[in-house]
Structure 1
């Protein structure tokens, strides 16, 4: 999937310090990579750790407070998609395979996995001694139940692979058989939505279970206000011995960027999830704060509702794309923490084609000529929907407004609070909007399917964009093994999107987290989530 940012996220935002561009492994078989419980806290050498202020190793224990722009409203892993929920769900539930900070697939709850040569049979062997947070054993039957529940529910991250059978060969061995090859499958199994839950919900109702969920993750839900904060405590039965190091993790709701910055500076929170770009250098250079960063699977975008009378016209969409100086916007707003986007896919995802695609680059004369070809050659008035509380998005909206004015399109900015913003675009109640799209796994299909399938959960990310040739290429890409042929399929698909612009890719942001100087071991993942297993807090 591409998870939309509800801030999207929640906010995706941005950097090019000596940061990495991740080289992503899209699929693997017979992987033996296992996390090392004794490995040092900082796993990604490209993340800016802040160890300059502390010569002593921080002690274990304590409470880590993490400021977030949106509250956790549900922990049902099969029915959620926005990052406010996803990045809480992944603290409680874990999958058979996962991806590390480099975006590489590694075995997680499985100690090994194997994919048959024909791509139809996936065999997983669970780790020895795995337990749920309540102390009960994790078995292959739990994996069977989890996958079958996901298949039954579907949800926003529905399993697209055509699953034939799921069975437990023995207590530790779980086998999935497909009806036909589906190349993204192993990568998609690393999604938070494919976490393992107890068979039959451990004997309670679904409603009861997801209010107080039982999983294998490093944390357990202790106290939860769906309109406010969530408090986790460490899982005493976590399979990585000795972890997590902290005793409690608090997700603190801070809806405004400036308030989050102030609370970080004051030491009221240990880190903040959404760091406004204009504050990045200030936080990086602050006496008690720093920035932890990673490359991302995110694309900041301007989305068109193709059901709208104006933006159903491809010439109107092309005109606005040509009127918008994306490179100038990126330079002005991201402070060197992003790369201008030509393709829908971030450069950290295979087959992105960002360097070869022929995008509609800034050209006012061509923009006016394109608008003249439309049904609205004299321009029109429309509205741009944007979530409030995000300074960067507010500035993006103003630049887009100016671009429209230059060719006769009067764009009124409608800034509304985040929850209402989500409701509006879920209901197609917008003409154009600013948001982010992101992959949930290191796979091209993760974003492409979410943003191009008119029959999918999001109806092409709520744009309702429909192109039969694009849909055909989408399905071909899913069945084609990795290699040159698959690359050619995606290159053709992405060029069509660049020509028809159901959305305008703006830039690829790096992920930035504002962090207190006493924090060590925070691991930022390329999907925007954070691993807290190895976090320690200094004095």
Structure 2
């Protein structure tokens, strides 16, 4: 296995030199359907008991849902926190802790809550708990802005909650399947204060046991979980293993029975292994370079546009992902209803140079934060080589992902950050958080009056066709006209598991839910 990986490393380096040093466009197909090399079908009835040891590439940024700054957190939050609304594999809303809801008018949402649900500390989940949580999401200090259009929350009776909106907002329901809808124990928050993040208490299928930063997270079965017979597993242990070969070897040796985010070269290996089951699905996750438009050189729109045209996205897919992916020209992939088929970003280094000269620059340089993960480092080097040909010099600064995200998003000290937009259940959440002027992930606040007007219109419409048209124009402004961020590629995400692990189903969101898996032993 070691020799095999060395061989692939050599091939990758060779190909990167080609795509970095050549400006020729390739004609490879842009289309690549997601695949399931081996379906993880259950056999017989689910069985109680067993332990899942889950390999993950990134540690959690914060156990408090409203304080985290990484989209990779969700896999480690889901076991602890049930949400008011759930979603299926196609990102359609389904009942959660709210068993139903209704919209009497376009500025009112009424949630009907489940009875008999308790938090891990034994306190009751009810309308007052929901009111506490939703008001906390919108309070000062929260990193979550998904439900900012909620003007007031009223506990109508013990199991009915009324949300009054400032303006119509079609994204609220699915936003309640995300961080905004993760229910924390009000009693625990009030008792622990700032220490809550070290001792999280939710109403999910598993209780928090222990966290060793950059080591592992331990969860134990919630014996009083509201869904009868669930969860099946006794424990979940999330092992933080940034290096994929470490995760791969741990799976093969039996230290793990599930690992997430299998690179495409290892998919080629594992799909031939009868002792491993793979599950692959395209996702709304997009590899992306965030730009702080208040910091030089990206305070000049022309420099941002020059960088946009300097990247050969198809060459990156061909070299790094064996052709399995699609170039990103916007925030949504082709399989998503919000995708704009008319929006393309061309590779044109000549145009990049012309844009730089238009603002009196022959060359430009900047620091780019790249996570200490091999996939990201390979991509960073490829982009560096391509950009150099276009008159752009990149100084790569490698950094642990959570540290880099904190410096970029919270402290705003870095001009450019190569990570990803991990996606949200509703496209309005993406435009609010990622593309709007006030979005947390738009660190420079770049926007235009037209874009803000369109975002407001999209929020107020419940017609999918109308919303899709509006999102198309919003993306055109953000990516082409303003170049406020640099979308790179969409790729499928793959989970690898031992054959005895049953019940896994990937979703378009691309964030794994492992709480209801079971072990066939």
Q: TM-score per shorter chain, which class? A: 0.7 to 0.9
SS at match of 2:250: helix
1:49 corresponds in structure 2 to 39
Displacement of 1:67 in angstroms is 1.2
2:359 corresponds in structure 1 to 374
Alignment of 1:505 onto 2:505: no
2-side partners of 1:274 and 1:210: how far apart? 26
2-side partners of 1:534 and 1:223: how far apart? 20
1:27 corresponds in structure 2 to none
Q: Gaps (5+ residues) in structure 1?
A: 1-14, 21-45
1:251 corresponds in structure 2 to 238
SS at match of 1:291: strand
Does the CA-based 8 Å contact 1:81-1:157 persist in structure 2?
no
Q: For structure 1, which segment, 499-508 or 341-350, has the greater mean C-alpha deviation from structure 2 after superposition?
A: 341-350
1-side partners of 2:97 and 2:278: how far apart? 30
1-side partners of 2:398 and 2:195: how far apart? 37
Give CA deviations for 1:366-407 in whole Å, capped at 9, x if unaligned: 33333332321x213333321112x22222222212212212
Does the CA-based 8 Å contact 1:94-1:192 persist in structure 2?
no
SS at match of 1:152: coil
1:310 corresponds in structure 2 to 297
Alignment of 1:299 onto 2:286: yes
1:123 corresponds in structure 2 to 110
Map 1:99-178; keep pairs closer than 5 Å: 99-116=87-104, 118-153=105-140, 155-178=142-165
Give CA deviations for 1:418-442 in whole Å, capped at 9, x if unaligned: 243223323333333311113222x
- 1:404 to 1:208, Cα distance in 2 relative to 1, 3 A: closer
Aligned length: 490
Alignment of 1:469 onto 2:413: no
Give CA deviations for 1:288-309 in whole Å, capped at 9, x if unaligned: 2232223312111123332333
1:24 corresponds in structure 2 to none
2:423 corresponds in structure 1 to 439
Displacement of 1:251 in angstroms is 1.0
Alignment of 1:452 onto 2:435: yes
SS at match of 1:91: coil
Displacement of 1:285 in angstroms is 2.2
- Aligned-residue CA RMSD (Å): 2.6
2-side partners of 1:111 and 1:234: how far apart? 23
Q: TM-score, normalised by structure 1?
A: 0.84
Map 1:71-82; keep pairs closer than 5 Å: 71-82=59-70
Does the CA-based 8 Å contact 2:324-2:491 persist in structure 1?
yes
2-side partners of 1:176 and 1:370: how far apart? 48
1-side partners of 2:188 and 2:462: how far apart? 36
2-side partners of 1:123 and 1:402: how far apart? 54
2-side partners of 1:301 and 1:102: how far apart? 23
Alignment of 1:518 onto 2:509: no
Matching residue within 182, 190, 194 for 1:195 = 182
Give CA deviations for 1:134-172 in whole Å, capped at 9, x if unaligned: 444422222122212222245221244433432222222
Displacement of 1:471 in angstroms is 2.5
1:90 corresponds in structure 2 to 78
Q: Gaps (5+ residues) in structure 2?
A: 1-29
2-side partners of 1:209 and 1:429: how far apart? 28
SS at match of 1:523: coil
2:54 corresponds in structure 1 to 66
2-side partners of 1:164 and 1:410: how far apart? 47
Q: For structure 1, which segment, 107-116 or 288-297, has the greater mean C-alpha deviation from structure 2 after superposition?
A: 288-297
Does the CA-based 8 Å contact 2:151-2:165 persist in structure 1?
yes
Give CA deviations for 1:14-67 in whole Å, capped at 9, x if unaligned: x987637xxxxxxxxxxxxxxxxxxxxxxxxx695335xx96767431111111
Q: TM-score, normalised by structure 2?
A: 0.86
Give CA deviations for 1:104-128 in whole Å, capped at 9, x if unaligned: 1001112211111x21221122224
